[in-house]
Amino acid sequence: MPNQKSNKLSVKSRFWIKGEKGTFLGEGRILLLEEIGTHGSISKAAKAMKMSYLKAWRLVDSMNSSVAEPLVIRTTGGIGGGGTLLTEKGKKAVELYRKLKDKSDLFLDEELSKLSIQFDS
Amino acid sequence: MPNQKSNKLSVKSRFWIKGEKGTFLGEGRILLLEEIGTHGSISKAAKAMKMSYLKAWRLVDSMNSSVAEPLVIRTTGGIGGGGTLLTEKGKKAVELYRKLKDKSDLFLDEELSKLSIQFDS
């Protein structure tokens, strides 16, 4: 008879997408891109995440230099004095990560269920 | 034309199997179980991992109290004065984690390859 305790196993995961130079995307970087998309500003995005501007800037710089097309660009001039934009490539990066995360969560849940049966027996 | 840089994306992941009381298995805990299996001693396993005996003992205690049957047991007496054994359940836990890790790595690699094509286009 399977025991009650181990029937309630669940799985939590984290992953990082790496480029040639090291980490390209991870949960924190994606949250930053999403906040930049929302606020149109690295400074406001950093504040929303309680992250220093310098750290946010470095993460953006690291992501931008990992791929040929930048994920985040600065716009200058205009009424608001310019700002920061999430490019189409940036939006695609967020989408890629979120899709992979969803698929991974689903996969791990299913596989854990299957393996748990063997573990309990 | 897909760019050269983002064609070389790879994925690195970590996961934790959680029980009702929190983390049950993770990479460090599994390495500890494997070392206990090898050395037949929590103390020697801890040394091999450059971990304090107290930390190793706490991790074992946490794993043992997460499931109905213990993963690690102490044996007393005998010529060697007793020792520590990885139980069949303990061996199953290692096997469950390693299988899930292998499947997860394979799955993430495949999914990243698929999604990278969309990302590059």
Nearest to B5 among A11, A12, A67 (CB): A67
Low-confidence ranges of chain A (pLDDT < 70): 1-7, 77-81
Of A25-34, A98-107, B25-34, B110-119, the poorest mean pLDDT is in B110-119
B119 membership: H or E segment, kind and range: helix B88-120
Strands of B22-25's sheet, edge to edge? Answer: A22-25, A10-19, B10-19, B22-25
Structural contact between residues A9 and A116, judged by C-beta atoms closer than 8 angstroms: yes
CB contact under 8 A, B66 and A104: no
Question: Residue B108 and residue A100: Cβ atoms within 8 Å?
Answer: yes
B100 token code pair: 């899930």
Contact A10 B18 (CB under 8 A): yes
What does pTM read for this prediction?
0.83
CA distance linking residue A38 with residue A44, whole number of Å: 9
Distant-in-sequence, close-in-space partners of A14: CB < 8 Å, separation ≥ 6: A26, A27, B13, B14, B15
What gap in Å lies between CA B29 and CA B113, rounded to an integer? 30
Q: Does A109 touch chain B (CB under 8 A)?
A: no
Say whether the ipTM exceeds 0.90: no
pLDDT above 90 covers what percent of chain B?
A: 75
Nearest to B14 among A14, A67, A92 (CB): A14
Residues facing A22 on adjacent strands? A19
Q: Is B73 on the interface with A (CB under 8 A)?
A: no
Residue whose C-alpha is closest to residue A64's, from A19, A14, A15: A19
